[in-house]
Amino acid sequence: MTLDIKDKKGNSKIIFSDFKLSSELEPIIIDCNINIATSCFKSSSSIIIELLDIKEFYKNLTILQDNLKWTFHFQHNDERIHLVFQPNELGSIAIKGTFKSIDYKDKLEFVFETDQTYIDDLLQQCEEIMSEFK
């Protein structure tokens, strides 16, 4: 089970993987790995997210798919990863991101464009994760 965010050429740029339940108490906490690949750098780490983060991401992706005018942020509770999804007038979606090291001393900033055709895959991946941890 992965959450795979691709660029316009279909290359995986951000992959959330290895989801494991950390806490069943509300809010439901999930441990996962994140891998980020740009043209010059690769970074990976484990992070903690809430199931609510995935649900909110799903909701915002659905709105974006419906009107292509919806800008939204994805940020998990400890703020190490921050993504902004912003559509443009050509139908592409710019993804601007910041990923901070576990000690918050280093950060990787990146930007890439994705195509709206990948939204269906992301929505399906979110549904699988939400189903697994509901």
Model confidence pLDDT, tens digit, residues 78-98: 789 999 999 988 889 999 999
**Structural class in CATH, domain 2-133:** mainly beta
* pLDDT of 62 over the 90 cut: yes
From start to end of the chain, where are the E strands? Answer: 2-6, 12-23, 29-37, 42-50, 72-75, 81-87, 92-100, 107-115
Strands of the sheet containing 2-6, edge to edge, are 2-6, 12-23, 29-37, 42-50
Mean pLDDT rounded to a whole number for the chain = 92
The residue-averaged pLDDT of 31-42 equals 91
Alpha carbon of residue 131 to chain centroid? 17
| Percentage above 70 pLDDT, the chain | 100
- Which of 77, 80, 76, 78 lies closest to 100, judged by CA? 80
- Contact criterion met (CB below 8 Å) for 105 and 84: no
* pLDDT of 30 over the 80 cut: yes
Q: Which 3 state secondary structure label does DSSP give 132? A: helix
This prediction's pTM: 0.92
* CA–CA gap between residue 2 and residue 87 (Å, rounded): 23
Model confidence pLDDT, tens digit, residues 111-133: 999 988 899 999 999 999 999 99
Q: Per-domain residue ranges for the chain? A: 2-133
The pLDDT confidence band at residue 68, using thresholds 50, 70 and 90, is confident
